[in-house]
Amino acid sequence: MRFLPLVFFLLLTNGAALAAPTIELSAGMHRIEAEVASNNADRATGLMNRPSMPMQRGMLFVFPEAGVQCFWMKNTLIPLSIAFLDDSGRIVQIADMQPQSLDNHCSVKPVRFALEMNAGWFKSRGLAAGGRINGLDKALPSRQ
């Protein structure tokens, strides 16, 4: 009987992992609700097994240091666009990624951040390489 609440919760969530912490980012006048994936487990899981995602929602991947970052879409059910971002939030490049694909999508230069949004999100808002995503500092650990 004491496991009944857990079983009920898993049935309601379809066994999906709990969402990562969320921060607000912006691209000009466009607001983004970004889940933050800043540890190995969250970065490895990413947006896998989600049947949909609201248009203003995305996932910000934060790495400990800049490097060439590569992504694939194994077990990811929705098409995504990914923006690779430098430390200032400037978009280095954008790639479109198809669901369930094992194709690698790697940054053309070392970056510390990557932002996944629904496919076409950046293009439909006129964002391209050189554009800027604001608010990345909210995703960094506070220095005390």
Provide the pLDDT for residue 61.
97
For 61-107, the pLDDT digits (tens) are 999 999 999 999 999 999 999 999 999 999 999 999 999 999 999 99
Alpha-carbon torsion 73, 119, 34, 49, what sign? negative
Q: Name the residue range of residue 61's domain.
A: 19-139
- Determine, yes or no, domain membership for 91: yes
- Determine, yes or no, domain membership for 115: yes
| Mean pLDDT, range 122-133, rounded to an integer | 97
- Determine, yes or no, domain membership for 62: yes
For 14-49, the pLDDT digits (tens) are 434 456 789 999 999 999 999 999 999 999 999 999
pLDDT surpasses 50 at 137: yes
